[in-house]
C-alpha cells in the first residue's frame, strides 16, 4: 500500500531536517485509503523517502511560517490570505529501514526535495521489531500514531518483565492485560499443560471469578487468611522448604549466638533421623533412659521436663506418673528402688524390673501413637520441645537463652498452621494459574509466603531442567507491588529476611531465564527495588512516574530508553506507558487497552457516587 505523502524536505542540518507540509495535510486526522490516519504530532515517526531507503525520523517541534509576514507584526498580518501560511515540522533522524530491516544509523541523511510520508503501520512494526499479528498479543495502541500494537509472545513472556509507575497509573491493569491476552491466545491448551503461572497478590486484586479470563479449570485462588482457618485456602509447601534452618531461624526470629545453632542442630536431626513416629518414639525413649541412667550428671529437673513435654504431646498423665513416682531426681533426692525394694537400675542400665515399673514400653507406644496423629508442623513443634529438654539436661546450652525462642515459635506456628499445608509433593496441587492473595494475612505470613513459594517453585523448575537437560516446561512468577518484598533499603539494617529474600530473588533474576523461570514485577517505587534486580529485567513497561529517584533509577538501568521517551514519563496519562527492552528495542509509547469487564479489583474510588 502506498503511504500518505505529507510534505517535502526544505532544510537539512546534519541529522536534523525540516519539512514543508503540503497544505491539505495540516489536519489532526485525515482519511487515506479508507483509513483514518493521525497527522504528525511531536514525538511521532515520519518516513523520509530516499530512493530504496527509508530514513526514519521523529518529529521534535513544529511551527508555522507566514510567507508574507516574516516580521511577525500585526500591521502586516496576512494570516488569512490564501497560501501564505506554511506548516514546518522539524525532524530528527533516528535510523533507516533498508531491506525491511531497521537499524539505528546515520549512514543516510535527508536531502532537500525528499518526500516525507506518514510512517505506515508496516514500517512501524519494522522499527519496533514487531512482526505481524501472528504469535503476538494485542496490548493497546501506539500513543501518537494510534496503530494497534501487538507484542511478540516469545520475547515478552520468555523474559523478566518490570512494570513501573506511580499509584493509579495503570500497572495492575497492564499486568493483568498482558496475561489475559496470553491466555486468550490460541496457545492456551498447550500453555496449560507445560507452563505454570503464580501471581503474588498483596491486595487481593486478582481474586475475582473469571480473572485473567480463566475459569477454575485452569485457575486456583488461594486466599491466605491468618485469622480464619480454611482447608482449601492453605498453600501447599513441600516439607524441605518449610523445615529449613534458614527459613525457620528467620521466621522465629532466632538470635544468632545460641538460638540459631539450636534450631540448626534440631532440624538436622528432625529432617534426617525422624523418618516416622517409631523413629521419634525411639529417640525420645532413648533420651528418657539416659536421663534415668545418668541421673547423677543430668540437671535436676530433666525428668520433670521430659514428662512435661510428653504430657504436652498428649501422653496419659497416669502413665507418666509411673516415672515421677518411681524415679525422682528432684532436688537431688534419688529414689531408685521400687516399693518392694527392687532396684530400678542394674549397674548403669535400667533393670528389667525398672523397665516394667516405669512402664517404658507403654510410654513408648503412646509417644508413637500421639505423634503419628499430629500434623507435620505440630510434629516439628513437639520435637523441638523435647530437644529443648535435651540441651538443658546436659547443660550444653544455657536454657535461659533458648526459652524466649519458644514463645515466638508458639505464635509463629499458630499462624503457620492456619495457612500452610505441608506436603510431600506439590505437582498436582497447583493449576496452570495460581493466585496467592495475601490480603488477609498477617505481616509475618505476608513476608514468609512469597519467599517460600518462590524458592520452592524455582528449585523445582531448576531440578526439572537439570534432569531433562533442557527446558520442557516453564514457570512464571508474577509479583504485583513487588516493593513489598524486594525492597533493598532494609539490607543495610541487617534484616535477615531481606537478606535471605533478596538473595533468592537475585538468583532467580540472574539464573532463571536459562531454566525457563520468568519473573514479572510491578512496583510504584523502582528506586526502592534492589538495583541488581532492576538491571536484570529484560522488558520494561513504564507508566507515569514523577519522583526523581525513581526516574534516575530507570535512566541508569534501562539501556534502551531514549531522551524523548524518558522525558515523557512524568506526563503520561492513566494506562499510557513506554515499552522498551529486549523485545522492543526502540522505546514505544502506547496506551494500554482497558478491559471493560474482567479487570483487577483496583479501580479509583469515585467519592461522589459513593456519597450520593
Ligand X SMILES: Nc1ncnc2c1ncn2[C@@H]1O[C@H](COP(=O)(O)OP(=O)(O)OP(=O)(O)O)[C@@H](O)[C@H]1O
Where in 83-112 is the site for ligand X (CB under 6 A)?
Answer: none
Q: Is 261 in the site for ligand X (CB under 6 A)?
A: no
Least distance to ligand X, CB of residue 205, Å: 7
Q: Could you say whether residue 168 binds ligand X (CB under 6 A)?
A: yes
CB of 71 to ligand X, least distance (A): 46
Give the side-chain half-sphere CA count within 13 A for 473.
Answer: 20
Which of these, 205, 130, 609, lies nearest to 439 by C-alpha position?
205
Which is it for strands 235-238 and 420-423: parallel, antiparallel or unpaired? parallel
- Least separation, in Å, of the C-beta of 481 and Mg ion? 6
Binding site partner of 20, from Mg ion, ligand X, none, Cβ cut-off 5-8 A by kind: none
Q: Scanning residues 47 to 106, which ones bind Mg ion (CB under 5 A)?
A: none
Structure-derived torsion over alpha carbons of residues 228, 232, 237, 242, reported in degrees to the nearest 10: 20
User: Is there binding between residue 20 and ligand X (CB under 6 A)?
Assistant: no
**In a 3-state reduction of DSSP, which class is residue 268?**
helix
Residue 29 binds: one of Mg ion, ligand X, none (C-beta under 5 to 8 A by kind): none
Which residues in the 561-580 window bind ligand X by CB under 6 A?
Answer: 574-575
**Is 518 in a helix, a strand, or coil?**
strand
Of 58, 112, 114, which Cα lies nearest the Cα of 89? 58
Nearer to ligand X by Cβ, of 159 and 524: the residue is: 524
Q: Tell which one of 40, 165, 526, 587 touches ligand X (CB under 6 A).
A: 165
Residue owning grid cell 528432684: 330
Residue of 4, 54, 94, 171 interacting with ligand X (CB under 6 A): 171
Decide if residue 602 touches ligand X (CB under 6 A).
yes
Q: Does 117 bind Mg ion (CB under 5 A)?
A: no
Provide the phi-psi class of 168: left if phi over 0, else alpha when psi is between -120 and 50, else beta: left
Site for ligand X, residues 469 to 498, rule: CB under 6 A: none
Closest to 523 measured CA to CA, from 156, 171, 159, 139: 171
Q: Taking CB within 5 to 8 Å according to partner kind, which of Mg ion, ligand X, none is near residue 450?
A: none
Stretch that binds Mg ion, among 135-143, 169-177, 371-379, 562-570 (CB under 5 A): 169-177
Region of 592 on the Ramachandran plot (φ > 0 left; ψ -120 to 50 alpha; else beta): beta
517-523 and 148-152 beta bridge pairing: unpaired
Among 6, 288, 367, 592, the residue binding ligand X under the rule CB under 6 A is 592
Q: How many Cα atoms occupy the beta-carbon half-sphere of 197 within 13 Å?
A: 27
Q: How many residues bind ligand X (CB under 6 A)?
A: 17
CB of 441 to Mg ion, least distance (A): 18
When asked if residue 173 is in the footprint of ligand X (CB under 6 A), the reply is yes
Greatest CA span in the chain, whole angstroms? Answer: 132
Query: Strand 474-479 and strand 195-201: pairing?
Result: parallel
Residue 225 interface partner, choices Mg ion, ligand X, none, CB cut-off 5-8 Å depending on type: none
Note whether 607 binds ligand X by CB under 6 A: no
237 contacts 231 by C-beta, under 8 angstroms: no
Q: Does position 3 bind Mg ion by CB under 5 A? A: no
CA–CA separation, 610 vs 612, rounded Å? 6
Please choose, out of 58-66, 455-463, 501-509, 592-600, the segment that lies near ligand X by the rule CB under 6 A: 592-600
Q: Residue 44: which of 145, 123, 125 has the closest Cα?
A: 145
If DSSP codes are grouped into helix, strand and coil, which group holds residue 41?
Answer: coil
- Which class for 304: exposed (0-12), middle (13-18), buried (19 or more C-beta within 10 A)? middle
CB of 609 to ligand X, least distance (A): 13
Contact flag: residue 148 with ligand X (CB under 6 A): no
| Range in contact with ligand X (rule: CB under 6 A) among 35-43, 162-170, 445-453, 483-491 | 162-170
Name the segment binding ligand X (CB under 6 A); options: 51-59, 89-97, 149-157, 595-603. 595-603
How many helices and strands (H and E) does the chain possess?
21, 24
With CB under 5 to 8 Å by kind, the binding choice for 170 among ligand X, Mg ion, none is ligand X
- Binding positions for ligand X, 498-527, rule CB under 6 A: 524
Say whether residue 346 binds ligand X (CB under 6 A).
no
Cell numbers linked to 316: 496419659
Q: Which of 90, 166, 169, 172 binds Mg ion (CB under 5 A)?
A: 172
- Whole-angstrom distance, CA of residue 543 vs CA of residue 170: 7
Q: How far apart are CA 521 and CA 175, in angstroms?
A: 9
Query: With CB under 6 A as the contact rule, which of the stretches 11-19, 68-76, 338-346, 594-602 interacts with ligand X?
Result: 594-602
The x, y and z cell numbers of residue 319, run together, are: 502413665
**Measured from the CB of residue 173, what is the shortest distance to ligand X in angstroms?**
3
604 contacts which partner out of Mg ion, ligand X, none, CB within 5 to 8 A by kind? ligand X
The residue number whose beta carbon is nearest to ligand X equals 575
- What is the sign, positive or negative, of the torsion defined by CA atoms of 404, 407, 410, 413? negative
The x, y and z cell numbers of residue 281, run together, are: 518414639
Residue 212: closest CA among 238, 192, 234, 237: 192
Stretch of residues binding Mg ion (CB under 5 A), selected from 22-30, 138-146, 170-178, 276-284: 170-178
Q: Which residues in this chain contact ligand X in the complex, by CB under 6 A? A: 165, 167-173, 524, 574-575, 592, 594, 600, 602-604
Q: Which residues in this chain contact Mg ion in the complex, by CB under 5 A? A: 171-172
Amino acid at each position: 500500500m502506498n503511504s500518505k505523502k505529507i510534505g517535502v524536505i526544505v532544510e537539512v542540518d546534519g541529522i536534523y531536517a525540516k519539512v514543508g507540509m503540503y497544505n491539505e495535510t495540516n489536519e489532526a486526522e485525515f482519511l487515506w485509503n479508507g483509513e483514518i490516519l493521525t497527522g504528525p504530532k511531536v514525538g511521532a515517526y515520519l518516513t523520509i523517502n530516499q530512493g530504496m531507503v527509508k530514513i526514519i525520523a521523529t518529529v521534535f517541534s513544529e511551527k508555522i511560517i507566514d510567507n508574507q509576514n516574516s516580521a511577525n507584526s500585526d500591521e502586516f498580518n496576512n494570516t488569512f490570505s490564501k497560501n501564505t501560511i506554511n506548516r514546518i515540522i522539524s525532524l530528527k533522524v533516528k535510523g533507516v529501514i533498508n531491506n525491511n530491516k531497521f537499524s539505528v544509523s546515520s549512514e543516510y541523511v535527508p536531502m532537500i526535495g525528499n518526500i516525507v510520508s506518514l510512517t505506515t503501520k508496516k514500517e512501524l512494526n519494522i522499527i519496533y521489531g514487531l512482526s505481524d499479528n501472528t504469535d503476538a498479543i494485542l496490548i493497546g495502541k501506539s500513543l501518537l500514531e494510534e496503530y494497534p500494537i501487538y507484542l511478540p509472545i516469545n520475547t515478552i513472556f520468555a523474559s523478566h518483565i518490570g512494570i513501573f509507575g506511580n499509584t493509579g497509573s495503570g500497572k495492575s491493569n497492564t499486568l493483568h492485560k498482558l496475561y489475559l491476552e496470553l491466555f486468550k491466545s490460541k496457545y492456551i491448551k498447550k500453555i496449560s499443560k507445560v507452563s505454570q503461572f503464580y501471581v503474588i497478590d498483596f491486595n487481593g486484586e486478582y481474586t475475582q471469578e473469571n480473572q485473567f479470563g480463566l475459569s477454575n479449570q485452569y485457575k486456583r485462588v488461594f486466599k491466605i487468611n491468618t485469622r480464619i482457618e480454611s482447608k482449601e485456602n492453605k498453600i501447599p509447601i513441600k516439607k524441605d522448604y518449610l523445615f529449613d534452618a534458614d527459613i525457620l531461624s528467620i521466621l522465629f526470629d532466632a538470635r544468632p549466638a545460641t538460638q540459631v545453632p539450636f534450631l540448626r542442630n534440631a532440624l538436622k536431626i528432625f529432617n534426617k533421623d525422624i523418618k516416622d513416629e517409631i523413629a521419634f518414639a525411639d529417640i525420645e525413649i532413648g533420651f528418657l533412659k539416659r536421663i534415668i541412667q545418668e541421673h547423677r550428671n543430668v540437671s535436676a529437673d530433666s525428668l520433670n521436663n521430659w514428662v512435661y513435654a510428653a504430657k504436652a504431646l498428649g501422653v496419659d498423665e497416669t502413665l507418666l506418673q509411673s516415672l515421677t513416682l518411681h524415679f525422682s531426681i528432684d532436688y537431688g533426692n534419688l529414689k531408685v528402688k521400687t516399693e518392694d525394694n527392687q532396684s530400678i537400675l542394674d549397674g548403669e542400665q535400667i533393670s528389667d524390673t525398672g523397665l516394667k515399673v516405669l512402664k517404658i514400653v507403654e510410654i513408648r507406644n503412646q509417644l508413637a501413637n500421639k505423634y503419628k496423629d499430629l500434623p507435620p508442623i505440630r510434629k516439628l513443634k513437639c520435637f523441638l520441645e523435647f530437644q529443648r529438654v535435651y540441651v538443658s539436661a546436659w547443660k550444653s546450652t544455657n536454657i535461659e537463652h533458648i526459652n524466649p525462642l519458644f514463645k515466638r515459635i508458639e505464635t509463629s506456628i499458630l499462624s503457620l498452621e492456619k495457612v500452610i499445608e505441608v506436603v510431600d509433593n506439590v505437582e498436582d496441587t497447583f493449576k496452570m494459574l495460581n493466585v496467592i492473595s495475601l490480603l488477609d494475612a498477617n505481616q509475618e505470613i505476608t513476608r514468609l509466603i512469597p519467599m517460600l513459594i518462590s524458592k520452592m517453585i524455582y528449585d523445582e523448575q531448576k531440578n526439572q531442567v537439570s534432569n531433562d537437560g533442557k527446558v520442557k516446561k516453564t514457570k512464571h512468577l508474577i509479583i504485583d507491588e513487588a516493593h513489598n518484598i524486594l525492597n533493598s533499603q532494609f539490607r543495610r539494617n541487617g534484616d535477615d529476611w531481606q537478606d535471605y529474600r533478596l538473595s533468592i530473588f537475585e538468583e532467580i533474576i540472574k539464573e532463571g531465564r536459562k531454566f525457563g523461570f520468568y519473573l514479572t514485577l510491578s512496583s510504584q517505587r523502582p528506586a526502592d527495588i534492589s538495583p541488581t534486580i532492576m538491571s536484570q529485567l529484560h522488558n520494561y513497561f513504564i507508566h507515569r512516574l514523577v519522583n526523581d529517584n525513581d526516574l534516575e533509577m530507570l535512566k541508569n538501568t534501562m539501556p534502551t530508553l531514549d531522551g524523548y521517551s524518558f522525558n515523557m514519563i512524568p506526563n503520561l496519562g492513566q494506562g499510557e506507558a513506554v515499552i522498551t527492552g529486549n523485545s522492543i528495542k526502540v522505546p514505544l509509547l502506547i496506551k494500554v487497552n482497558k478491559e471493560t469487564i474482567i479487570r483487577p479489583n483496583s479501580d479509583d474510588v469515585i467519592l461522589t457516587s459513593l456519597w450520593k
